[in-house]
């Protein structure tokens, strides 16, 4: 994950200003964090823009890691997203992007390798006291060069 | 608009790191801008997170200004949003939040002053060569103290 962390700070400078850190990545998904202090708003809660950015990036990063593991050059973009703010976030931000089920993951990889392009919908959230405070569903498109 | 500009940089520090500037505000709506350089990504286009933040903030700022003009203490939050990324943005960012029609505006103000709370849906976009590159529709909720 250190490689992704370095990549983010070098290629997307605002992620450094936000203090975004790459956390755990495993079969269950990917975690990104950011301190409240750098992302605070006028109500001393997390700024909606920062919450949206962290969630947007969580799905991008998960897709990026899945594509990278295939050993191909490629890129990932977000196509659309839906965000719901359910309650204010008074603490450091932790966004969790859930790994899709095994069949969805397999289909995504197969499509990407055979056609050079694949899309999927990912679900991320930021939780407070184990309850979702902000939820995000978005479509990401990956492209790879022929191998 | 200088008051809003000062408020943003003081109360939401990440807006300063992004270089967000408050532009024109009139009957047609509100413009927020941000330089590409501070909001660039690994594809040397505008970072999706920054685009989402600028659009999120544009509707918040427009609602904030409408509430302020009523001369009441109050606050504004976003409840949900839908974003569509139609094409990459290779230039400085300019988000335009459209002012709702006069009847919608009147109803929003009346509801806010009589019940202390009102919500509305706003539409913002970021255009490239006069075509929408990113579109955003979101619901904002305003609350004011009894006058």
Check if A38 contacts B (Cβ < 8 Å): yes
Of B14, B41, B80, the CB nearest to A17: B14
Check if A76 contacts B (Cβ < 8 Å): no
Which domains are seen in chain B, by residue range?
Answer: 2-144 (3.10.129.10)
pLDDT higher than threshold 90 for residue A7: yes
Mutate to test the interface with B, among A16, A41, A59 (most CBs of B within 10 A): A41
Q: Cα-atom radius of gyration of chain A, to the nearest Å?
A: 15
* Continuous H helices in chain B: 2-11, 14-17, 48-68, 102-115
Which pLDDT value is given to residue B120? 98
Q: What digits encode the pLDDT tens for the residues A13-54?
A: 999 999 999 999 999 999 999 999 999 999 999 999 999 999
Which pLDDT value is given to residue B1? 80
Cα distances (angstroms) measured from residue B109 to each of A2, A79, B76, B119, B130: 50, 35, 13, 10, 31
Check if B39 contacts A (Cβ < 8 Å): yes
Which pLDDT value is given to residue A94? 98
CB contact under 8 A, B13 and A52: no
CB contact under 8 A, A60 and B48: yes
Please, which pLDDT band fits residue B27 given cuts at 50, 70 and 90?
Answer: very high
Residue A14 three-state SS:
helix
Mean pLDDT for all residues in chain A: 96
A81 neighbourhood in chain B, CB within 8 Å:
52, 82-83
Exposure string of B93-108, with b = 16+ CB inside 10 Å and e = fewer, is: bbbbbebbeeeeeeeb
pLDDT higher than threshold 80 for residue A5: yes
Q: What digits encode the pLDDT tens for the residues B3-19?
A: 999 999 999 999 999 99
Chain B residues 17-36 with CB within 8 Å of chain A? 17-18
pTM of the full predicted structure? 0.97
């Amino acid at each position: 994950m250190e490689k992704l962390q370095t990549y983010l700070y070098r290629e997307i400078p605002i992620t450094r200003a936000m203090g975004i850190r790459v956390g755990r990545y495993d079969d269950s998904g990917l975690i990104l964090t950011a301190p409240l202090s750098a992302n605070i708003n006028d109500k001393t809660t997390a700024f909606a823009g920062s919450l949206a950015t962290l969630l947007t990036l969580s799905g991008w990063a998960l897709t990026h890691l899945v594509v990278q593991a295939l050993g191909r050059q490629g890129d990932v973009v977000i196509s659309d997203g839906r965000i719901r703010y359910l309650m204010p976030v008074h603490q450091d931000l932790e966004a969790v992007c859930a790994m899709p089920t095994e069949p969805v993951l397999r289909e995504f990889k197969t499509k990407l390798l055979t056609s050079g392009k694949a899309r999927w919908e990912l679900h991320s959230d930021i939780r407070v006291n184990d309850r979702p405070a902000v939820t995000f569903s978005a479509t990401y498109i990956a492209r790879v060069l022929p191998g």
